[in-house]
């Protein structure tokens, strides 16, 4: 098992970061009438961990006995029948799913499947826990229609079903859905907190950490706990005992983006644009999300620029990323950004150096 999973705290009392949130959550579910919850925060901040620990707090260890199912549904959509396929993770008390996986048909998932699940009240002979929990991941990726479809379901069946929604940016969750939940913000852990977690894992694994080593990993982690733990484990595999000048491995795709940025800075020409396109395409075909590529590219380019150009470049990055959202083919918009950058930069070079 990877360390990220092995050392994922299982109960609210055992978390290392977000202890305050964990204690609050514990109090929140002390009665049976807890409102719906919306967890939001950057990826790798610990949302999922808290949600699982919360479920355990509510229902006991049985929520950890999950089965993964790939289910097929036939949905009657007026004139035609749709075949929907979705993976669910469920225990006797909860079901976890990722409705946005259904793409533009996500509305049907909410209308048919989630509503059905919400309606059916679990029959518990002991009559104790009279409701179940639906965990919906990535709700910020749901279409507006799908989000609207959630609204009444959240009210109508609130006695039999509690929703826990999870997302990165709560700006993308509609006002009406946010108004129906208690919003719980999970911030990315500070570097010191990441160091605490790494040192904890180091102790458990019986490792010697040179001073400052954990801090170096934390610094490179972009405040993502998952990322930090993963690269800690990679370091362990690459070289142990650790040394202070040991290289903290970067992600392959980031190294690649850095390379693209250098290519762009070295030459601004149609030919170079074409080469860059090929490289971006390769990243995309490796499933790196386009907005992540664009943001990283901006990050690398900004580092190399004079202040006066930075404003303009970040403006265009925002502009083309927005267009990318509205469009279909991400590559066009990343390429347009690169072309724009080349033209600005070349203009700058000519006006400065002639």
Partner 1 sequence: MAPLLQSSQPWVEKYRPRQVKDVAHQDEVVRVLTNTLETANCPHMLFYGPPGTGKTTTALAIAHELYGPELYKSRVLELNASDDRGINVVRTKIKNFAAVAVGTQRHGNYPCPPYKIIILDEADSMTEDAQNALRRTMETYSKVTRFFFICNYISRIIEPLASRCAKFRFKPLTDEIMNDRIAYICSAEGLDLDPEALSTLSSISQGDLRRAITYLQGAARLFGSSILSTDLVTVSGVIPEEVVQALYSTCKSGNFELAEKEVSNVIAEGYPVSQIISQLFDLIVGLDDVSDEQKARIFKKMGEADKCLIDGADEYLQLLDVASNAMRALCNMPLEFPSEF
**In b/e form, how buried is each residue of 183-194, taking b as 16+ CB within 10 angstroms?**
ebebebbebebb
Q: Which of 8, 18, 48, 180 binds Mg ion (CB under 5 A)?
A: 48
Is there a contact between 228 and 213 (Cβ–Cβ < 8 Å)?
Answer: no
Which among partner 1, Mg ion, ligand ATP, none contacts residue 250 (Cβ within 5 to 8 A by kind)?
Answer: none
Residues 145-164 as x/- pattern, contact with ligand ATP by CB under 6 A: ------x-------------
Q: Which of 117, 229, 235, 283 binds ligand ADP (CB under 6 A)?
A: 229
Is there a contact between 157 and 198 (Cβ–Cβ < 8 Å)?
Answer: no
Closest CA to 94 of 41, 125, 51: 51
Q: Which element (helix H / strand E) includes 111?
A: none
Which among ligand ADP, Mg ion, ligand ATP, none contacts residue 87 (Cβ within 5 to 8 A by kind)?
Answer: none
User: Can the peptide bond before residue 241 be classed as cis, meaning omega within 30 degrees of 0?
Assistant: yes
Which among Mg ion, ligand ATP, ligand ADP, none contacts residue 176 (Cβ within 5 to 8 A by kind)?
Answer: ligand ATP
Largest CA distance in the chain: 84
Q: Which of 12, 15, 38, 280 binds ligand ADP (CB under 6 A)?
A: 15
When asked if residue 56 is in the footprint of ligand ADP (CB under 6 A), the reply is no
When asked if residue 247 is in the footprint of ligand ATP (CB under 6 A), the reply is no
Closest CA to 196 of 11, 16, 3, 19: 16
Binding range to Mg ion, per CB under 5 A, among 30-38, 47-55, 237-245, 335-343: 47-55
Q: How far is the CB of 230 from Mg ion (least distance, A)?
A: 13
Tell me phi and psi for residue 133, to 5 degrees: -120, 135
Is there a contact between 238 and 250 (Cβ–Cβ < 8 Å)?
Answer: no
Which among partner 1, Mg ion, ligand ADP, none contacts residue 46 (Cβ within 5 to 8 A by kind)?
Answer: ligand ADP
Is there a contact between 96 and 88 (Cβ–Cβ < 8 Å)?
Answer: yes
When asked if residue 349 is in the footprint of ligand ATP (CB under 6 A), the reply is no
Size of the site for ligand ATP (CB under 6 A): 3
CA distance 211 to 213: 5
Q: How far is the CB of 79 from Mg ion (least distance, A)?
A: 29
Q: Compute, in degrees rounded to 10, the torsion defined by CA atoms 215, 219, 225, 229.
A: -60
Binding range to Mg ion, per CB under 5 A, among 42-50, 92-100, 272-280, 333-341: 42-50
Binding range to ligand ADP, per CB under 6 A, among 44-52, 141-149, 150-158, 310-318: 44-52
Residue 91 is given by DSSP the state: -
Q: Which of 25, 37, 38, 48 binds ligand ADP (CB under 6 A)?
A: 48
Q: How far is the CB of 274 from partner 1 (least distance, A)?
A: 17
When asked if residue 176 is in the footprint of ligand ATP (CB under 6 A), the reply is yes
Residue nearest to ligand ADP (CB): 46
In this structure, the strands spanning 80-90 and 94-97 are antiparallel
Q: Which of 23, 30, 43, 171 binds ligand ADP (CB under 6 A)?
A: 43
Q: Which element (helix H / strand E) includes 25?
A: helix 19-28
Tell me phi and psi for residue 264, to 5 degrees: -65, -40
Residue with tokens 């762009």: 264
Closer residue to ligand ADP (CB): 230 or 305: 230
CA distance 276 to 257: 10
Closer residue to partner 1 (CB): 186 or 209: 186
Closer residue to ligand ATP (CB): 115 or 227: 115
Residue with tokens 């918009």: 333
Residue nearest to Mg ion (CB): 48
Q: How far is the CB of 117 from partner 1 (least distance, A)?
A: 12
When asked if residue 44 is in the footprint of ligand ADP (CB under 6 A), the reply is yes
Site of interaction with ligand ATP (CB under 6 A): 151, 176, 179
């Amino acid at each position: 098992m990877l360390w990220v999973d092995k050392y994922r705290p299982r109960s609210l009392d055992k978390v290392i970061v977000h202890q305050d949130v964990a204690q609050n959550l514990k109090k929140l579910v002390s009665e049976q009438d807890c409102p719906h919850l919306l967890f939001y925060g950057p990826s790798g901040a610990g949302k999922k961990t808290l949600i699982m620990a919360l479920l355990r707090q509510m229902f006991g260890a049985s929520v950890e006995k999950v089965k993964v199912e790939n289910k097929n549904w036939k949905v009657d959509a007026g004139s035609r029948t749709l075949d929907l396929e979705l993976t669910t993770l469920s225990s006797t008390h909860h079901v976890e799913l990722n409705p946005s996986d259904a793409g533009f048909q996500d509305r049907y998932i909410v209308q048919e499947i989630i509503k059905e699940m919400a309606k059916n009240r679990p029959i518990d002979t002991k009559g104790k826990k009279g409701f179940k929990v639906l965990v919906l991941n990535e709700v910020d990726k749901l279409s507006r229609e799908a989000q609207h479809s959630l609204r009444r379901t959240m009210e109508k069946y609130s006695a039999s079903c509690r929703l826990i929604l999870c997302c990165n940016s709560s700006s993308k969750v509609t006002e009406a859905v946010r108004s129906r939940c208690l919003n719980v913000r999970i911030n990315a852990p500070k570097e010191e907190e990441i160091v605490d977690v790494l040192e904890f894992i180091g102790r458990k694994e019986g490792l010697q950490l040179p001073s400052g080593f954990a801090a170096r990993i934390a610094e490179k982690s972009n405040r993502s706990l998952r990322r930090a733990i993963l690269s800690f484990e990679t370091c362990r595999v690459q070289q142990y005992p650790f040394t202070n000048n040991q290289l903290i491995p970067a992600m392959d795709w980031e190294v690649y983006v850095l390379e693209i940025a250098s290519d762009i800075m070295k030459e601004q020409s149609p030919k170079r644009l074409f080469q860059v396109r090929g490289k971006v395409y390769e990243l995309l075909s490796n499933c790196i999300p386009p907005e992540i590529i664009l943001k990283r590219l901006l990050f690398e380019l900004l580092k190399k620029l004079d202040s006066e150009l930075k404003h303009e470049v970040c403006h265009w990055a925002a502009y083309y990323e927005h267009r990318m959202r509205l469009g279909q083919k991400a590559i066009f918009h990343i390429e347009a950004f690169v072309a724009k950058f080349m033209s600005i930069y070349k203009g700058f070079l000519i006006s400065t150096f002639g």
